[in-house]
Chain A
């Protein structure tokens, strides 16, 4: 009998632990004036969040992820009711299509004109009418290469496929960006839904695999900086950082065109206080705040106030402020139909298993 009591007491202890845990998280959940944000890692200056709370009294709870898909997984599980999310072009389109987002009253935002008309137009591709998202940072995908180790300046995706730099190439380790390179090189759209075009890209990539040193996302920059590889397909923001560390490096957007990406903030359907969310979005567009974030992240910004204050040398940096010519052939990644996504996932596994 005694033992049964002990067992019961222990079971009780467990329950108390559970309740304590629940109680704790509930406490943090009840405040009316709080916003839960979901963003990429290291993608905002922490001071900006503090300043926002100071100025408005709205508490911020902050969560980070590395990839849009990871965000989608966590968001869709409904485990955490995020108010605002910052994610990438095709994912925003997907969320809009699935009815996960709320419309934002963009016209009432005081600083909306800080975002150049050009970027509202760009964003229009994935968010028709600019009703759901506010551009935050943008950039391109290109080749970061070591000028001392190549014979002539690079201007085309061709160097990745002509076997000349076998073992010295780093490709992107994400499905859309990897296939984008092959599709663009072959002259197709990166949003293609045509199976034959995708298969052609697949053959090209299969043939290339022996020449590839590694498929990386985040570490690609370090590998080129450390001169473990001659060139890498990389995001422009990372390329700019790479150039800071190793002055032999250069970044180019190949002439065949590339991916033009936009990361934007949007408000989810769970947000109970859209005014607070809009206050935050407006805050992000304000001159001094945009400047702070830019100084922290150093990606291409759509904010005119910041662009104007750039030093002259940075204004001409292809990784930071790409010229109009270079982005001429570039496209924004759009959401693909499920069948195409499935096919690409399969091709990717086939390529990786090879």
Chain B
């Protein structure tokens, strides 16, 4: 009995937190169907913004840039971060701590300071463009990868790797077959974390981007004064729905197959 009450309380609490996290998303979804251009007036139901969204080259370009940027920066950051973490783990205690302290620096500064500092630094040796934003994103993504991968490395059982080497596996093969699978969880979460941070960033992108390069964030920012275009809410709704459906598929389809197989 007590257990059932506790179960109910647990469910209730989880739902509460999810309402808190999803309340603004719900508002955005509602706004995407609002016929009025002003976000504070309900002008009736419309799907116009969805059609206009696909007609707009600008928005589609910004979306493409955002996704390419997020995927590229997360991939490169994961690569450098994972390999870096393996190296750092092998360091002597003192160096280990020093490097990890520096790893946290990008998180210590306000975004805007990081952004302006990078801009001032880039100006000295390269023109701003897509490349400079990419470097900036990789820079602030790496710490998240390291923070995700490091604990897995510390938990890792080195002797299995050594055993494989002793039995004649070459280093690369042993790494791929033994080390990598053990780290996979951390690497994946690092990648997604990096991807998320890249999608979400505004200030650093704004100061390090070149003329004509636009991400969704910088595009939305420029619309603040005249009022956010409802197309933006429509786009967010679509992205949200898309990711959500994929998540559901990934989560439930394998289970259903298993059940069917039995």
* Chain A residues with a Cβ under 8 A of chain B: 2-3, 7, 10, 13-14, 17-18, 20-26, 28-29, 36, 38, 40-42, 46, 61-66, 73-74, 77-80, 82, 217-219, 221-223, 225-226, 241, 245-246, 297
Contact = CB atoms under 8 A, between A and B. Distances in A.
8 contacts: A17-B76, A18-B135, A22-B126, A41-B225, A62-B212, A77-B119, A80-B127, A222-B39
Nearest to A26: B127
Contact of A42 (B40, B83, B226): B226
A76 B227 CA distance: 28
Contact of A25 (B129, B171, B224): B129
A245 to B, nearest CB: 5
B68 to A, nearest CB: 12
Contacts of A65: 222
A66 B134 contact: no
A245 B222 contact: no
The 3 closest A-B pairs by CB, nearest first: A21-B131, A25-B129, A41-B222
A78 B135 contact: no
A271 to B, nearest CB: 13
B223 interface: yes
Nearest to B222: A41
Given A24-B131, A61-B211, A77-B123, 9 more contacts: A10-B79, A17-B131, A17-B134, A22-B126, A63-B212, A79-B119, A80-B210, A225-B41, A297-B226
B207 interface: yes
A41 B134 CA distance: 23
Nearest to B226: A42
B226 A20 contact: no
Interface string B222-239: 111111000000000000
Contacts of B227: 221-222, 241
B40 A21 contact: no
Contacts of B223: 41-42
| Chain B residues touching A, majority SS | helix
A237 to B, nearest CB: 9
Interface of B: 36, 38-41, 58, 76, 79-80, 83, 116, 119-120, 122-123, 126-132, 134-135, 171, 207, 210-212, 218, 221-227
Nearest to A226: B40
A66 B211 contact: no
Given A21-B130, A22-B127, A245 B212 contact: no
A77 B83 CA distance: 35
A218 B41 contact: no
Given A21-B129, A24-B131, A42 B122 contact: no
Contacts of B210: 25, 28, 79-80
A243 B134 CA distance: 43
Nearest to A73: B116
Given A17-B76, A22-B126, A218 B171 contact: no
A222 B40 CA distance: 6
A118 B132 CA distance: 45
A63 B208 CA distance: 12
A80 B211 contact: yes
A182 B148 CA distance: 53
A222 B38 contact: yes
Nearest to A3: B171
Contacts of B122: 79
Contacts of A13: 79
Nearest to B123: A79
A37 to B, nearest CB: 8
A217 B225 contact: yes
B171 A2 contact: yes
Nearest to A237: B226
A66 B222 contact: yes
Contacts of A41: 221-226
* Residue from A10, A14, A25, A219 having most chain B Cβ neighbours under 10 A: A25
B212 to A, nearest CB: 4
A192 B221 CA distance: 33
Given A77-B120, A225-B38, A29 B127 contact: yes
A82 B128 CA distance: 12
Contacts of B58: 46
Contact of A40 (B119, B128, B225): B225
Residue in A13, A41, A73, A241 with the greatest tally of chain B CB atoms within 10 Å: A41
B225 A66 contact: yes
A222 B211 CA distance: 30
A245 B41 contact: yes
Contacts of A21: 126, 129-132, 134-135
A22 B41 contact: no
Given A21-B135, A61-B212, A78-B123, A42 B225 contact: yes
A46 B224 CA distance: 17
Nearest to A225: B40
Given A80-B210, A245-B38, A25 B131 contact: yes
Contacts of B128: 25, 79-80
Contacts of A217: 225
B119 A66 contact: no
